[in-house]
Amino acid sequence: MNTPDLGVTIGIKKLPNPVGVASGTFGYGSEYESLMDLSILGALYTKAITLLPRGGNEIPRIIETPSGILNAIGLANVGVDVFVRDKLPFLRTLSSPIIANVAGSIEEEYIAVVEKLESFSGISGYEINISCPNVKHGGLSFGTDPAMVESLTGKLRAKTKLPLIIKLTPNVTDIAVIAKAAEAGGADAVSCINTLIGMVIDTKQKKIVLANKTGGLSGPAIRPIAVAMTYKVARSIQIPVIGIGGIMTADDALQFLLAGASAIQVGTGTFVDPSIPKQVHDGIMAYALCNKLTCIEDFHEFLP
């Protein structure tokens, strides 16, 4: 039997395989170069890119929790100009598609970042991080309001023909409503999910561990939540869903694919073992072969 073609079409591009590495967990690619074969990646999602450089949150920024980690890195990044100058050249040398994760505090910031990036080659698409607070709307996260999501998506859509992926926040009552708003705004896909809001308190010192107070919970702890949301979102929209949350093994990734995701991202898992993206990739391939699945859509046939 031939190797199945598990390429994933998102908008005008095709990712060579469904296994990506999640934004914020892979830097700008170079850090993991000596630890893994970057060419096996179906997509590399950059750390969030904002218009200006940002230092990120105060420290501490990381604390481990049961089967998870809580992070409050903030949008620590070099800013779009330095990204283009210092990071993009290395990323261009990779064979895998590079998806720029874009963040901002107001709509105009997202738009400006995408506009800047449009004039450079080497970017295969945009993943829009809508978990950020909208400072014009009292700091309410963009991603919690369907109107804000549809508006932002529409404006970004007007700026680019490249794949436009809206990254959903799980901290909402009904994630399907937000996914539909992204679809209505013209998104090519949604990523599902970003981190859940959490807090850890140091009872000895009687203070909150993270300087930012709350952080984003990721890792295996949130996987069942992410699978449930992926299942729901995949049944609410027509565009592809990219499943994210606690993937450590091929079996975990397959849960998302069976639930309706067309691709997945490994985040925290890469920290724990940099060989996980490849293990997941190989495990999905083996599963496809063994179950005679020839394309990603075949994974979606089993569940109601």
Nearest distance from residue 271's CB to other proteins, in Å? Answer: 5
String of contacts with other proteins for each residue 205-224, x by CB under 8 A: --------------xxx---
- Say how far apart CA 36 and CA 8 lie, in whole Å: 22
Site for other proteins in 244-303 (CB under 8 A): 248, 268, 270-275
Instruction: Choose the one of ligand FMN, other proteins, a second copy, none that binds residue 167, judging by a C-beta under 5 to 8 angstroms depending on kind.
Output: ligand FMN
- The answer to whether residue 25 forms part of the interface with ligand FMN (CB under 6 A) is yes
Concerning whether 132 is annotated as a catalytic residue, the answer is yes
Q: Residue 140: beta bridge partners?
A: 134
Q: Report d(CA 68, CA 39) in Å as an integer.
A: 28
**Site track 51-80 with ligand FMN (rule: CB under 6 A), x = hit:** ------------------x-x-x-------
- Residue closer to a second copy by CB (options 28, 256) is 256
The interface partner of residue 247, options being a second copy, other proteins, ligand FMN, none and the CB cut-off 5 to 8 Å by kind, is ligand FMN
Neighbours of 230 (CB within 10 A): 29
Tokens of 265: 């991202």
Q: Which is nearer to ligand FMN, 4 or 245 (CB)?
A: 245
Distance, in Å, from the CA atom of 51 to the CA atom of 63, rounded to the nearest integer, reads 28
Sole residue written with tokens 């992204």? 182
Phi/psi for 286 (5° steps) reads: -65, -40
Rg (CA), the chain: 18
Options 1, 3, 55, 206; binder of other proteins; rule CB under 8 A:
55
Instruction: Give which of ligand FMN, other proteins, a second copy, none residue 129 binds (C-beta under 5 to 8 Å, depending on kind).
Output: ligand FMN
165, interface contact from ligand FMN, a second copy, other proteins, none, CB < 5-8 Å by kind: none
Which member of 132, 192, 290, 295 is catalytic? Answer: 132
Select from 143, 101, 148, 108 the least CA-distant residue to 125.
101
DSSP string spanning 26-87? Answer: STTSGGGTTTS-GGG-SEEEPSPB-SS-B----S--EEEETTEEEE---S-B--HHHIIIII
Which residues bind to a second copy, rule: CB under 8 A?
Answer: 65-68, 70, 144, 171-174, 196-201, 203, 206-208, 213-215, 217, 219-225, 227-228, 231, 246, 251, 254-255, 258-259, 287, 302-303
String marking each residue 4-33 x if it binds other proteins according to CB under 8 A:
--------------------xxxx---xx-
Angle 175-184/146-157 helices, nearest 10 degrees?
A: 30
d(CA 184, CA 173): 19
Shortest reach from residue 151's CB to ligand FMN, in Å? 19
How far is residue 170's CA from residue 195's CA, in Å, rounded to a whole number?
7
Based on the shown chain and the rule CB under 8 A, indicate whether residue 76 belongs to the binding site for other proteins: yes
96 scored as a contact of ligand FMN (CB under 6 A): no
CB of 55 to other proteins, least distance (A): 5
- Residue 86 CB, nearest distance to ligand FMN (Å)? 17
244 contacts 192 by C-beta, under 8 angstroms: yes
* Active site residues per annotation: 132
